[in-house]
C-alpha cells in the first residue's frame, strides 16, 4: 500500500505548463506574473493592497517594521506556533511576550493577552492554528482599546473566514504563507495584506534592499531592506492555485467531517473544534492521551504506511527562548498540547478511504 503523507501539494498540468511558459519567456524573477498574482490576491481580499514576498516569514517581519515596531517594543504572541512567529519579533529588535493558549481552540488566549499588556507593548501577533481563525471581534476590540498594532499570522488560514468575511479582507496587517504544505502554494512564498495604499511604497522598498527607483535611472536608499521578492516562477504556481481554492477548501471540509464521523472517541484523544463555517481545515490535529508518547505514535503510524506531522512544540521551551528567560511551567496548556499534538493526513487528493485507513491505524496504535 502506498505511503500516505500528512500533506501533499496538488499542482495541475495547466499550472505546470504555465511554469514552463514562464521559464521560456526569459523573465523568471519578479515581473508580470508577480504583479498578476498580487492583483488576484487583492481581489480575494476585498480590494485591499497586497504585496507578495518569498516567504510568510518575510511578510511578518516587514509587517512589524511597517507597523513601527522595533527596539524596546513588546509584542504579545502564542508559544504554540512555528518558531518564525516569535523570531521575527527578535529580528526587528523587539521582545516576544508569550501568553498561554485556549485549550479548546489551541489559539492564543485573548484574556491572557490583555493581561500581559504593559506600557512597552506595541503589537500582537495572533496565530490561526490549523486554519481556525482567532476570534477577530475580540482581537480587534483589544487592539483598539489598548492601541496595539496587529500583524495577523494567517499563514495557515488562507481561505478561512470570520463571520462570512474572508480572512485578509479586514483588519490591520495580515500575513499569508504559500509554502508547499499550505492550502494553496507557490512552492515557497507569502503575501502581506496592507491596511491601505499609504504603506505600499515603503513595503516594496523594504522587500528589496530598501531601494526606491525614480525616472529612467534614479535610485535611492534611505533604510536597509531585505531580499524578499517573489519570483515569477513561484507567482505562476500561485496563479494556478488560487482559482482552485474554493474546491480545495470544500474537499478539506469533507475529509474533516469524515474524521469526526469515524474517529473512535474511546481512544482518549482531544479532537479539534468542529468549525465548518470559518476554518479552512489546513490541518486535522489530535492531542494524544498522556499514556501515548508522540514519538511512539508517529513510529506506529509509519509502520502502517501513514505520515504524521508535529505542529508545534511550545517554542518558549527552545534553548533560544529559555536563554531569554522563559521556562517550563509558565504556559501549561501550550506545553501539554505542544508535547502531544499530532497532525494527521489531510489534503485535497485524499480519498475518503484514506481517512478510513488513518482512523483504523490510529485505533490499532493507540489500543
Residues 298 and 219 in one domain: no
How many domains in the chain?
A: 2
The answer to whether 11 and 351 have CB atoms below 8 angstroms apart is no
Residues 225 and 325 in one domain: no
DSSP β-ladder status, 121-125 and 74-77 = parallel
Choose one of 180, 209, 243: the last residue of a domain: 243
- Model confidence pLDDT, tens digit, residues 90-116: 999 999 999 999 999 999 999 999 999
The residue to which cell 504506511 is assigned:
305
Percent of the chain scoring above 90 in pLDDT: 100
- Whole-model pTM: value is 0.97
Per the structure, the complete domain to which residue 298 belongs is given by 245-366
pLDDT band at 59 (very low <50, low <70, confident <90, very high): very high
Domain assignment present for residue 309? The answer is yes
Residues forming the active site? 182
What lies within 8 Å, CB to CB, of 344 at 6+ separation is 6, 259, 283, 284, 285, 286, 308, 358, 362
Instruction: Give me the CATH number covering residue 164.
Output: 3.40.640.10
Domain assignment present for residue 356? The answer is yes
Q: Phi first, then psi: what are they for 160, rounded to 5°?
A: -80, 170
Residues 59 and 159 in one domain: yes
DSSP β-ladder status, 50-53 and 190-193 = antiparallel
Choose one of 175, 210, 243: the last residue of a domain: 243
Cα angle: 293, vertex 298, 302; to 5 degrees: 150
- Model confidence pLDDT, tens digit, residues 227-248: 999 999 999 999 999 999 999 9
Residues 37 and 112 in one domain: yes
Domain assignment present for residue 234? The answer is yes
pLDDT at 300: 98
What lies within 8 Å, CB to CB, of 86 at 6+ separation is 77, 79, 96, 98, 315, 321
Amino acid at each position: 500500500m502506498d505511503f500516505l503523507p500528512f500533506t501533499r501539494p496538488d499542482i495541475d498540468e495547466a499550472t505546470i505548463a504555465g511554469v514552463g511558459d514562464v521559464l521560456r519567456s526569459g523573465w523568471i524573477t519578479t515581473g508580470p506574473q508577480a504583479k498578476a498574482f498580487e492583483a488576484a490576491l487583492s481581489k480575494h481580499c476585498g480590494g485591499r493592497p497586497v504585496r507578495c514576498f518569498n516567504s510568510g516569514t518575510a511578510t511578518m517581519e516587514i509587517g512589524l517594521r511597517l507597523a513601527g515596531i522595533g527596539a524596546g517594543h513588546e509584542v504579545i504572541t502564542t508559544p504554540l506556533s512555528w518558531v518564525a512567529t516569535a523570531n521575527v519579533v527578535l529580528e526587528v529588535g523587539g521582545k516576544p511576550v508569550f501568553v498561554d493558549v485556549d485549550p479548546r481552540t489551541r489559539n492564543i488566549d485573548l484574556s491572557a493577552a490583555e493581561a500581559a499588556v504593559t506600557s512597552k507593548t506595541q503589537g500582537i501577533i495572533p496565530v490561526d492554528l490549523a486554519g481556525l481563525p482567532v476570534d477577530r471581534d475580540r482581537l480587534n476590540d483589544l487592539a483598539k482599546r489598548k492601541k496595539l498594532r496587529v500583524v495577523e499570522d494567517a499563514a495557515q488560514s488562507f481561505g478561512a473566514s470570520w463571520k462570512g468575511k474572508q480572512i485578509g479582507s479586514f483588519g490591520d496587517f495580515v500575513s499569508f504563507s504559500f509554502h508547499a504544505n499550505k492550502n494553496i502554494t507557490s512552492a515557497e512564498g507569502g503575501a502581506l495584506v496592507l491596511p491601505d495604499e499609504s504603506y505600499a511604497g515603503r513595503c516594496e522598498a523594504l522587500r528589496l534592499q530598501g531601494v526606491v527607483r525614480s525616472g529612467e535611472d534614479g535610485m535611492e536608499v534611505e533604510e536597509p531592506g531585505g531580499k524578499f521578492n517573489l519570483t515569477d516562477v513561484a507567482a505562476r504556481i500561485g496563479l494556478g492555485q488560487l482559482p482552485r481554492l474554493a474546491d480545495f477548501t470544500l474537499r478539506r471540509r469533507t475529509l474533516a467531517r469524515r474524521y469526526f464521523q469515524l474517529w473512535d472517541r474511546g481512544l482518549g484523544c482531544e479532537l479539534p473544534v468542529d468549525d465548518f463555517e470559518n476554518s479552512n481545515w489546513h490541518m486535522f490535529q489530535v492531542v494524544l492521551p498522556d499514556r501515548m508518547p508522540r514519538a511512539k505514535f508517529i513510529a506506529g503510524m509509519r509502520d502502517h504506511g501513514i505520515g504524521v506531522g508535529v505542529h508545534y512544540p511550545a517554542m518558549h521551551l527552545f534553548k533560544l527562548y529559555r536563554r531569554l528567560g522563559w521556562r517550563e511551567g509558565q504556559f501549561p496548556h501550550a506545553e501539554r498540547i505542544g508535547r502531544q499534538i499530532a497532525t494527521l493526513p489531510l489534503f485535497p487528493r485524499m480519498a475518503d478511504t484514506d481517512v478510513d485507513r488513518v482512523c483504523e491505524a490510529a485505533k490499532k496504535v493507540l489500543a
